[in-house]
Structure formats: structure tokens, C-alpha cells
Chains A and B, each alone.
Chain A
Amino acid sequence: MAYFHKMNLNELTISPLGDSAILLNFENKIDETLNRKVLRLFHELQKKSFPFVKDIVPAYSSLVIFYDLLIIKNKSPVNKTYLEIVTDQIKNILFEDIEISSLSSRKIKIPVCYSEKYALDINDISKEKKISVDEIIHLHTAKKYRVYMIGFLPGFAYMGEVDERIAMPRRAQPRTIVEAGSIGIAGRQTGIYPFDSPGGWQIIGKTPQKIFDKEKNDPVLLQLGDEIEFYSITEDELTNN
């Protein structure tokens, strides 16, 4: 029986993610070039709209394709698994020339209030990293961040990479409730909580911007590949928004 547990194709490792999904993995690493490749694959797969593809989950350097076995009518040759048939069908996309530069990214500016009242961990970071609060705000707003992936919660964007000088590990004790709109740092990632939720990221501010709106056709504000900039606002601007 032809069956693979793992297979290398091009620069990708392909493996089953259960019996109805396939995992395409570049490298176990956060890297902008790899993430651009993931994004390109994601767009190509969406464009091709294979009838058997139910869902596609792009991440930092991997992509999962969920497929519906029952829609793959002609299982031929019969000794192949559905996974291999799906792999055969998407192979062409994997080998196509990669034109990652052609993808333009949306640019979004996010207002953030960095006041102590909302920046629950900013003083700890200041002490730990021996850097002033003003400098933390400066460093966080000085960079453009890329949305590498969305996961954890609906609309939660993993953005990177923050300046090494403000990179902080997750809190040892996660909070049971982090308020919606809170801006956090975890390692060299930064993110915004779309909902009140438990969370372990170091909170450095809060945005009045709605990150998730179920009433909208496009409920999620930040999308894969977007370029994000933060700018500082006052407490008044936060609460009057």
C-alpha cells in the first residue's frame, strides 16, 4: 500500500494532518521570505478553488489544506490514498515559479493608548529591559509590522517582529481576562486581543479600533500579509472614540 508518513517535495515537507487535511511545512522558523511563500501558496490555492478544498490555514511557515474525501469522486489509481491524490492535484502550484514580490500588502495604522492604566505590563518591561516607558512606546511605534498569521482567537493577528530591546517572553502566569483591544508582546511578536479572553502576552496598551466585528461581511480587520503601524493616542482619544 502506497502510504507516506512524511514526504519531501521541493523545499516542503508534506505530511497528513489527520485523514482529511494535509500539512505543507517549509521550515520551523519565523522568516519573512518563508511567510511570503506561504501567502503566495494560499492565494494560488484560493484562486484555483479546487472543489475538494474546504479550508486553508496559512501560518508562519506552513499551510494546512482541509479537503473533503467524498468530493474526490474518481479515486484513481485505486491503490493511492486520497492524500496522495490531493497532493498530485496541488503539486503544480507547489512547483510554479514563486513571484512573491508581486503581492502588495495593505497598510493599516492602529491607534494605541500606552497609558499605564491600560499598559498593565509596561512598567515591568521597563524594569526588566532597563529602558524607559517612553522609549518602549517609541520603539513599538517606530516599526512597521507584518501580519504573519491569524490564529488563537478569531481575528488575532500575529505581527512581527518587535525590536529586540522590547522583546519579552509571555507572562509566567497568564491573566484570566485580558480586555478586548489590548496590545501585547510575546517574544518578538506583537498582537491585539479581539475579545476579552484569557491571555499570557505582556500588555503594553489598548486600541479603540474594533479588531473583530461579527456584523461585517469581512469580520476580521487585520489580514495575512498586511503591513501594520501603531501610533500613540491619549487616554481621552481612547475613551472618546
Chain B
Amino acid sequence: MSLQIIKSGLLDTIQDQGRYGYQHLGINPGGAMDRFSSQSGNALLGKDFNSPVIEIHFPAPIILFQKETIICITGADFSPTINHKKILNNQPIAINENTVLQFEKMLSGARCCITILHDPDLDKWLNSYSTNLVAGAGGFKGRALKKGDILNFKNNFDCKYLAAEKDFELLPWKASETFTSKKEIRFIKGSEWDWLTDDAIKIFAESNYKILNNSNRMGYRLQGDALKVKEEIQLISSGLTFGTIQLLPDGQLIVLMADHQTTGGYPRIGHVISADLSMLAQCNPGNEIKFSSVELAIAEQELIQQQRGLQQMQTASKFKIEKLLSNISTPGGF
């Protein structure tokens, strides 16, 4: 026994960077909504970016750690505490055995990632740990975590003494970059962009779009003035991606998120750039966003830059973690 769910949250699932290679079978990639934050949690613990994390929403779960480990909380700020003492996001924390992680209130963002140094003892389904709720496969028994679930730890790093006699110890490094909540979401034009009327293009560029309540891991529905197309053409079903902005028959928009279908038949007027998906994933219903157009080259550069930053953080953290674990024979010292 290593970790136990004392109380489940709204939707707590195991996610990694997605299940790729199976979309031709209709099996969507899924994966963490906020790819950047789930990667940065792993990076801060020196782990592979694709290691599984627990993605939580608010109301958040209460988790009992039965065994010492190092954790890192990234993404949304749900004011995390350990044994009721406040801890910080974006900083690795050595925690003692029998400590309780819980979250007091939703301060910013929509989804929070819990990364644990010890990998949970789970089997991959089709090469990924991500939970596919439709297929009931992957992650923890193909479903959201619930009260009483126990996740055992796989690897055997000895983290005794790191927190000494205390409940936890903040480790002396943290992320320099975290997700920012900006209203402006950048996109590149989609293959059906040219279908929009001049008026529709103007409305799209100038509108503040409100994210509606029926938004979820599959997609965000947006509220704004209806966009018109030059002529009504039936589009044959075709591939989609995380971030695709689809135009519905009533002129409203939906942005596809992590659990989107693999194919669809609505016009793709644009695609949110990968580097800004993290910001969008942290938006809650009721938040407003505005789209701004960028060129593909910029989108590519931004993504590469974001990934390089994460890689640097991962390399540096890995070195620190290894040093920490090798010094562990000296009780309490690091």
C-alpha cells in the first residue's frame, strides 16, 4: 500500500502525454488536458515527460500517502496542504509516510496535476497510461479514481528521512516557468477558414468568447455572435486534433480538447497553437477568451521553445534528485 484515495474529487484520472498510434481505430489520444503542467511536474522530479500523473479537478480528492515519497503539484492552484499545512505548487516536496494531501479552495486554473516520484503500479493499455473513460481502459481500471482506491508504488526509491521528523520538506528548487492565465489564445488558420464570410472573420477576430458550462475534457463550447459561411457545404468526416476550432451548424464554436473524437464533419476554422493549449486547459466555464491569429512558423517556434525549457528543467532536476537519493544514507541530511 502506498497511496489511498480517502475522498474522491470531481474527476480524478491517471493521464500521461496521450495514446498515439491508434487513432485509425477511432481510439483518441486523450492524455493530460494541460500537457505543459503535467510535463513540468515530471520535469521537476527529473522524470520522463510521459510518466503518469494524477489529473484532478475541483472539488479535489483527499489522498493519504502511506509511504514516503517526493511529490510535485503543478497546474491549477487549489491551495494544496499536507496535514493541513500549506504547501506550494511547482516545487518538489519530500513527504513523510502517513501524510494527507488535500486542497482547500480553487484559487486559479481548472486542472491540477499531482506527480509522484514513485510510479504507480499500473499497466499500460495500448502503450499509454492515459484513462480512456469511453473504452473503460487505461489508467486505473479504466475509470476515475474513487474512495478506497489504492495505488501501489512500483519503483523502490528509498525516500525515508528526507522529511526527517516533519510532515514534509520543500526541496530547494522550483519551476521558473509555470502556466500563465492569459485571455488571448493564439491560433493558426484551419483548412475551412476560407469558408467564413468577411463579416464572420471580423467577428471572430474581435469577439470575447465566453466558455460555457457544458464544456469538459472533450471540448469547450463558446458563446459568441454566430459566424456565417459563404455557402453551406456538407463536409465529409475527417481528422481533428486537440485545439481544433470547429464551427457548428448554428454558427457557434467548439474547441476540441484532450478527449476529442478522432474525426468529425464540422468546418475546422482554426487550431489553437500547442504552446497555448495549456492556458486554455486551465480556463473554467465562465472565463472569457479572445483569439489572435499567428503564422505556423511562430506556433512551431513557441512549441519548440516551451519544450526546450522543460527539457532543461528536467535535466537539472534529475541531477538534483539523484544526488538527494544517493545521500539518503545520512538521516535527515541533504
**Which of A's residues lie within 8 Å of B, judged by CB?**
1, 3, 5-6, 13, 15-21, 23, 25, 28-30, 42, 54-64, 66, 69-70, 81-83, 149-156, 158, 195, 197, 212, 214, 219-220, 223-224
Residue B172 interfacial (CB < 8 Å): no
| A-B CB contacts (within 8 Å), total count | 157
Interface contact B188-A16, CB-CB below 8 Å:
yes
Contacts of B25 in A (CB 8 A): 150, 154-155, 219-220, 223
What is the 8 Å Cβ interface bit string for chain B, positions 110-135, against chain A (1 contact, 0 not)? 00000000000000011000001011
In angstroms, how far is the closest chain B Cβ from the Cβ of A21? 5
Can you list 5 A-B contacts (CB < 8 A)? A3-B296, A3-B297, A57-B263, A62-B239, A64-B240
Please measure, in the bound complex, the distance between the C-alpha atom of A19 and the C-alpha atom of B273, giving whole angstroms: 6
Please measure, in the bound complex, the distance between the C-alpha atom of A42 and the C-alpha atom of B21, giving whole angstroms: 12
Residue B189 interfacial (CB < 8 Å): yes
Contacts of B271 in A (CB 8 A): 16-19
Interface contact A64-B241, CB-CB below 8 Å:
yes
For B21, the closest partner residue in chain A by CB is A55
**Which of B's residues lie within 8 Å of A, judged by CB?**
20-29, 125-126, 132, 134-137, 142, 188-191, 193-194, 233-244, 261-264, 268, 271-274, 295-297, 299-300, 303-304, 307
Please measure, in the bound complex, the distance between the C-alpha atom of A81 and the C-alpha atom of B273, giving whole angstroms: 14
Interface contact B238-A23, CB-CB below 8 Å:
yes
Interface contact B300-A56, CB-CB below 8 Å:
no
For A79, the closest partner residue in chain B by CB is B297
In angstroms, how far is the closest chain B Cβ from the Cβ of A75? 9
Contacts of A212 in B (CB 8 A): 135
Interface contact A156-B21, CB-CB below 8 Å:
no
In angstroms, how far is the closest chain A Cβ from the Cβ of B243? 5
Interface contact A18-B27, CB-CB below 8 Å:
no
For A63, the closest partner residue in chain B by CB is B239
Interface contact B134-A151, CB-CB below 8 Å:
no
Interface contact A154-B191, CB-CB below 8 Å:
no
Interface contact B296-A23, CB-CB below 8 Å:
no
Interface contact B233-A28, CB-CB below 8 Å:
yes
Contacts of A81 in B (CB 8 A): 296-297, 300
Contacts of A42 in B (CB 8 A): 24
Interface contact A19-B135, CB-CB below 8 Å:
no
Please measure, in the bound complex, the distance between the C-alpha atom of A82 and the C-alpha atom of B233, giving whole angstroms: 31
Closest 8 CB pairs of A and B: A64-B239, A151-B263, A18-B271, A19-B299, A57-B239, A214-B137, A150-B26, A220-B25
In angstroms, how far is the closest chain A Cβ from the Cβ of B199? 20
Interface contact B295-A154, CB-CB below 8 Å:
no
In angstroms, how far is the closest chain B Cβ from the Cβ of A176? 14
Interface contact A152-B26, CB-CB below 8 Å:
yes
Interface contact A59-B237, CB-CB below 8 Å:
yes
Contacts of B29 in A (CB 8 A): 55
Beyond A15-B190, A17-B191, A151-B264, 16 extra complex contacts between A and B, CB < 8 Å: A1-B295, A3-B296, A6-B191, A16-B271, A18-B272, A19-B303, A20-B241, A25-B238, A29-B236, A55-B21, A61-B238, A151-B237, A154-B26, A154-B28, A195-B134, A212-B135
